Amino acid sequence: MARGSYAAVLDPTLISITKILVQIQAPASAVLELERAWVTKAFGSAGDPQIDQMERIAIVRQDVAGTGTSITPAPLDPDAPASGVTAKGDIGLDADISAYLFKGAADIAAGWLFVPQRGESLIVPPSGILGLFLGTFEGALRESPVFIVAGLIWRELG
């Protein structure tokens, strides 16, 4: 039985190194289906959002939750019950990445959007952890620091 769709959004946050931007952990009693993920550069160190900035972006599966700032999942339907998901933002790479489910690169000044098409759903099993990764895989971002806005939308299935 579907419980509803929810969003975890990282408000504009100053990022200078490779990070997990947003992480969600499914409750032990539910499965999650990723519906959308996005990353956008709000503005750069000079305050100019128009500077091109190619960065690597990945959706990753993790074995261990990282340390970050708590994000309260927001229901897309105001009548939906509270989500059972634990969401965090601005996470260092203290959390192990066990699998790269999607890898790509994008000009984050223009923004990056991932919307799974039919047959390519990303499923998070009960107690599983999914993260939205930004970085160079070598450490520092190419233009650093920058303010980033990012988020995940998922459907919680009971």
Q: What is the pTM of this model?
A: 0.89
Of 29-33, 44-48, 126-130, the range with the lowest mean pLDDT is 44-48
- pLDDT at site 45: 58
Q: Which domains does the chain have, with CATH numbers?
A: 2-157 (2.60.120)
Provide the CB-side half-sphere exposure for 123 (13 A, CA).
8
Asked if residue 158 lies in contact with residue 35, where contact means CB atoms within 8 angstroms, the answer is no
**What is the mean pLDDT of the segment spanning 58-83?**
93
CA distance 55 to 136: 6
Nearest to 76 by CA among 20, 28, 36, 129: 36
DSSP 74-85: EESSTTSPPP--
